[in-house]
Structure formats: structure tokens, C-alpha cells
Structure 1
Amino acid sequence: MRLHTELAALRFLSEDLGLALAPRVVAADLSEGIVVLEDLAPRTALDELLRRDGAAAHSDRLVAFARARGELNAATAGYADTYRARRSSSGPSNPEAGHVDRFARLLDEAHRDGPTAILGAPVTGRAETELSSALAELSEPGPFLAFSNGDAEANNILLHESGPADARLIDFESACYTHALLDAVCLHVPGPAWMTVGGPLSARLGDHYRGALAHGIPQAEDDLRFGFGLAAACISWAIVRLQRFALLDTRAPGDHSRPQLVETLEAAARTADAHRAFPHLTGWARHTADLLRRRWPDADVDLTDPTAFPPYTARR
């Protein structure tokens, strides 16, 4: 089914919408499980460049990444029915769920049991009310409903190492229509591969993403509307990542995944603060991060210090 989704997504972008944001399908035989795609060489995965040289050496490539994410969301807004028809004609599939149904399940668990109960930090009162508002925003995107490859991270974009980036997004096996601003989370909150993505660079990339998004979704220019959606996406992502607590609690001191989880909560809180959204849920996120710092002394580090942890420091 994933191959069917990938094929439908790529044909939707290139054949239905005429976009050059992903590889073209050259040929396909689903009965044999074969799909031949456009050769994107000599482009390189962005995460490889960042790991090799650091973010400072590739700030322009990161800008291309942010803009490509925004351009994908902008160009596909309003075409959900076209994609669903394309997907239906490509073969069997599960009902489209994407990010939002997964978030709904995990967010529901988050304030009832799991790590919040173990840490003694349940999501209650006004924070719980704000969590419900965040989930409602993600579940009902309105004008922010847009197409995503389902994994908006730096390993899923190929671009030229020098000169014009001419970027292409890849890995559409989990593609779906969802809230566009879920694709912007990776610019503000570290994903699985990174310790931190913050600092002035984060704000710059966020501005480029927003500018590209506004070409297709003009509501992105509304500070209140955009900020609320982005904060909802970031805080929700942090809560989903918190569900890894039990696994991380078994790891040896010094494992990078522990301070990374702390930074995930704190970066989400900083983003929400910057947009003056979800004050009580933000307070809960900071409190939970503090509890993790006390439980894991090895995770009590300042990941906002650019001399020790430059943006896009890789997680070991």
C-alpha cells in the first residue's frame, strides 16, 4: 500500500498539478512492485551536508529546504479531492489518516496515562483545555489543509551542494493531506536526527517557509492565525515525542536522546511563547522538561548555547 501511495503522490504532483518539487515517475508496474523514478543525481540529501559540514556552511541550502516545504503546502492547498481521486485509482489503501489521527490517539493518551502519570505531570485544568484547542486546530485545518509527504525532515530533500539548489522532496510513502503547519515543526523543534534546530537560524527559516506558504494560503500572513496553528503543531509534536519516555528512561546516562527530549519540550514552548499561544500548556511543557532534567542529571544541559550545540547538531 505504501508503494501505491508513493506512486499516486508523485503522479499527483507532476501530472495533476505540474509541479517540479519531487521526482517524476518514469514507469511503474505495481503488480511487480516496481516504480522507476527520475534520476535526481548529483543532488545530495541535506542531512548529509549538515552532518558533514554543519548548518553554518549550508544556511542557503536550509533556506531552500524551508521554501520547498512551504511551496509544496502552498501549491497543493485546495486540491485534496484531486489527490484522493488519484489515490483511489492507484489501488487498495487504508482510509487516509495521516498525522492527525495519530496525534489524536497519542494526545489523548498523554493526558490520561503514560509518561505524564509516571512523572507526576498530568495535563489538567486550563492546560488540558488548551490541548483540546490544539487538537481541534490540527483536526480541522480549514485553509491550512495541504499536502505533505508525511515526514518533513532534512533527510527527505535532495539538492545541489553548490549553485542553485533546485531541490526535490522525496519519500512520499506516507503522503496525505493534513495541517500544513505540521510540516513547519521541523524548522523550530528538533526532529529525531538533531539535538537542536533553534536560534536565529530557526526564525529565518520559519520566515522563508511562511513567505512561500502565503503564496497559496494567504491566511499565513495573519499573525494570530499562523501563530496559533504553528504553536499547536509544535506543542503537539513535543507531546507525541514524550511518549518515548519509558524507552529513554532505560538508556544509559549520556545518551543523546535524553537531552534531545528535554529540548523538544522547551523548543516547542519557546515557539508557542513567541506567538503568545497556549500559555498554560506551555507552562506544562516547561515544567515537564524540568522534571526530566531532575530525573536525568545527564540531560540537564543548555542546548541553546550555540558554542556547545550549534543548530543541527546531530544526535548520536
Structure 2
Amino acid sequence: MASPRGRGRRGTIPYAVPVITMVEWTRLEPWRVARARTDRGESVIVKWAGPHPDRRYSEEWRLRTEVAALRFLADDLGVRLAPRVLAEDLAAGQVVLEDLAPRTALDGLLRRDGAAAHLARLTAFARIRGELGAVTAGHASRYERRRRALGPVDAAADLLGHAAPIRTSGVPEAGRLGVPLRGGAERELATALDELADPGPFLVLSNGDPEANNVLVHERGPVDARLIDFEFAAFRHALHDAVPLHVPGPAWMWVTADALGELGDVYRRALAAGVPQAEDERRYGLGLTAACVAWALTRLRRLPALDTRPAGDTSRAQLVATLEAAARTADACRALPRLAGWCRHLADALRLRWPDADLDVTALAPYTPRRP
């Protein structure tokens, strides 16, 4: 059945489950998503693969990855961290998932009420990300078998995720700012990328987008968090999933674990339940710093686009904050000091380039939204 054309359309989907009667649909990029009702009155979620800005992965690839990851968690490992797959028709590009309502996305609550009102939910967010790593550590080959059964996959490319293009995009932008990568910083970046490419015991499953919009929580009562959106799932370094607790993601101007009850420690303890090496200060600090710097350099690739934005566009100040947060994380972890200094020089260069971005974002409340 084709995707419905508007909210409120009705129809049926021929799966090997009770007939699904469409009662509502809402388009959410990069997916088309509908809430549907079966003829037994059960509420389910129907997803159609849709376009995505990251053109490295086809719609078919992403749908197969989502199905493989969710079945791996529920069927192979027997854990309830994400929705269950109820049925799929990969040829038609559709999948039917468990409806996790009345849970709602954490980022919406943070935007509405601020972080201070949702410390318990932020703590659950940090914990479930660590739990995902803990329960999947050591099972990469098991997941890979399931994923390959659905179609080809490039495990090497998946491993680095957003860090893969840094050498060709991210570092060149630094040169444009007059802060070229050289000497000790260059050697430390190589160390960071080596760590991410060879995680050892830190090799775990990530959904590929560990931000607050991809965790659903109950607004009242027990939080009972669940993770969603596994279309970019892959086994990669666990500390990629800790980055949003230390460095602002696309939606936020500023985040800080210290001001929110040490969320980074919550994540680390949860991860250590399955990855005991997370207790090693040196190894953990190196991995976290590497992942945070990789994210900051990924965001630096946006320099040409941000140069075209009007003065006062908050994306500029956000990029400054991202680089400085990565440097602060390195300082706290006592890791890669030259790379941290390079990130600070980049932030300083951006402040000079964009006087409107010369702000003290640390004065903002944690999880202050970036204005569109």
C-alpha cells in the first residue's frame, strides 16, 4: 500500500498480522510515520523509509538496518530498550512497530519546560544509552549475521559513523580559519581516530543518533525510557553515545553534565555493567575525548553554510560552543591536550570571524534550544 497523502486518511496494510486500519498519520523526517489501529483495536506504528540528508545510505539500507537492530535487541538479546518489530515488508519499504505511547520524546519536554524540570528523565536518558552499550557489548558478530541476512553492509564505514569524513572535511575548514592542523595536535587527532576505529571492548551497538529526540519517556509517573530510530544503527565505539551529555547536539546551544547531576557519570556506570573497562580512567577519557572532538569537527564542516547566515544566527554561537565543550571535555579527562588547545584556537578564530557569535554560552541554562 502506498503512503497515505494526508492526516486522517484510512486504508489497510496487508501484513501477516491482523488487518491494520489507518486512523492517523504524521510525516516526520527522515521517515514517514503513521499511527494505525488493527482490527483488534491495537495501536501500532507504521514506518515508510523516506529521504534523508545523508545520501551515503539508501532508503532501503536504512529500513533494513532498523529492522535488523530492533529484532537483534528484542529477539536475540531479549531486552526491552526499543520498540519491537511486529511485521515488515521490506520489498514494499514498510515496517510495523510496537506503539510506545503514551511516552513522548524527551527533547519536546526539554524545549517546553527546561532541563531543570526533567532531571529524572535526563538521568533515564543517560542511563538507557549506557545500558544499550552494556547489553550489546561482545555481540557484534551476532548482529552482523542478522544484518547481512537482509542485505549488504559496510561494517568498516559504519564503525566510524560521522567521524569517517573528518580527514577530508572538517580539518580543511580549520585551514580556512587560519588554524591549520599540525604538530602535536595532528598526532593527537590521529590517536583519536585510531581509538574510534579500534574500540576493542568498547565496541557496542548504537542507534546512530543518540540525541534527546530519539528517547521516549513518560511525562508522569515512572520514566520507563525507550530508544527509537535505529535506521543508522551499527556497532561502533560506545563513547559516541556519551557525546550528547557533554557537547551540544544540533538542537541545543549548550549542555553540561555537571549542572545536571553528573549525567556523564550515570552513563558511565550503566556502560560499565557490561564494559568493565569503562572504569579505566585513561581509556575512558581517551575514548570520550576522541568522540567529542570528532563530533565537533563534524560540525565544523558546516562552516561554508554558516558563513552565509545573517548576523545573529544562533548556529554560529552553537558551533563555537561545540568546539569549546569538546576542549573542556578533554581537560576534564586529562586527554589529548594539544587537540583541546587546537579546538580552542578554532573557537577563538570563529569569534573573530563572527562577532555576533562572541557570546558566553556557558551562562545559558543547560539544554537551551537553538533558534531555527
Give me the TM-score of the superposition, normalised by structure 1.
0.95
Q: What is the root-mean-square deviation of aligned Cα atoms in Å?
A: 1.2
1:167-197 CA-partner distances (Å, limit 9, x unpaired): 1100000100000000100100000000000
Map of 1:23 onto structure 2: 83
In structure 2, do the counterparts of structure 1 residues 122 and 202 end up closer, same or farther at CA, with 3 Å as the change threshold? farther
Map of 2:325 onto structure 1: 267
* Equivalent AA in structure 1 for residue 368 of structure 2: T
Question: 1:147 and 2:194 equivalent?
Answer: no
Cα distance in 2, alignment partners of residues 230 and 203 from structure 1: 18
Residue 28 of structure 1 aligns to a residue in which SS? strand
In structure 2, do the counterparts of structure 1 residues 137 and 3 end up closer, same or farther at CA, with 3 Å as the change threshold? same
Map of 2:222 onto structure 1: 164
Per the TM alignment, residue 242 of structure 1 is displaced from its structure 2 partner at its CA by: 0.6
Cα distance in 2, alignment partners of residues 180 and 30 from structure 1: 29
Residue 191 of structure 2 aligns to a residue in which SS? helix
Cα distance in 2, alignment partners of residues 132 and 104 from structure 1: 12
Per the TM alignment, residue 11 of structure 1 is displaced from its structure 2 partner at its CA by: 0.2
In structure 2, do the counterparts of structure 1 residues 8 and 164 end up closer, same or farther at CA, with 3 Å as the change threshold? same
Mapping of 1:187-266 within 5 angstroms? Answer: 187-198=245-256, 200-201=258-259, 204-266=262-324
Residue 230 of structure 2 aligns to a residue in which SS? coil
* Equivalent AA in structure 1 for residue 211 of structure 2: E
Give me the TM-score of the superposition, normalised by structure 2.
0.81
1:103-147 CA-partner distances (Å, limit 9, x unpaired): 232234444x3x212111011000000000000000000010000
* Equivalent AA in structure 1 for residue 160 of structure 2: V
Map of 1:293 onto structure 2: 351
Map of 1:77 onto structure 2: 137
In structure 2, do the counterparts of structure 1 residues 56 and 99 end up closer, same or farther at CA, with 3 Å as the change threshold? farther
Cα distance in 1, alignment partners of residues 161 and 95 from structure 2: 29
Structure whose CA Rg is larger: 2
Question: Which structure ranks higher in relative contact order (CA pairs < 8 Å, sequence separation ≥ 6)?
Answer: 1
Q: How many residues align?
A: 310
Per the TM alignment, residue 32 of structure 1 is displaced from its structure 2 partner at its CA by: 2.2
Map of 2:239 onto structure 1: 181
Cα distance in 2, alignment partners of residues 141 and 199 from structure 1: 24
Cα distance in 1, alignment partners of residues 342 and 315 from structure 2: 21
Cα distance in 2, alignment partners of residues 24 and 4 from structure 1: 14
Q: Any conservation in 2 of the 1:107–1:236 contact (CA below 8 Å)?
A: no
Q: Any conservation in 1 of the 2:169–2:298 contact (CA below 8 Å)?
A: no
Residue 32 of structure 1 aligns to a residue in which SS? coil
In structure 2, do the counterparts of structure 1 residues 99 and 140 end up closer, same or farther at CA, with 3 Å as the change threshold? closer
* Equivalent AA in structure 1 for residue 280 of structure 2: D
> Pick from 37, 49, 74: which aligns with 2:109?
49
Structure 2: stretches of 5+ with no match in the other structure: 1-60
Structure 1: stretches of 5+ with no match in the other structure: none
Q: Which has the higher helix share?
A: 1
Map of 2:128 onto structure 1: 68
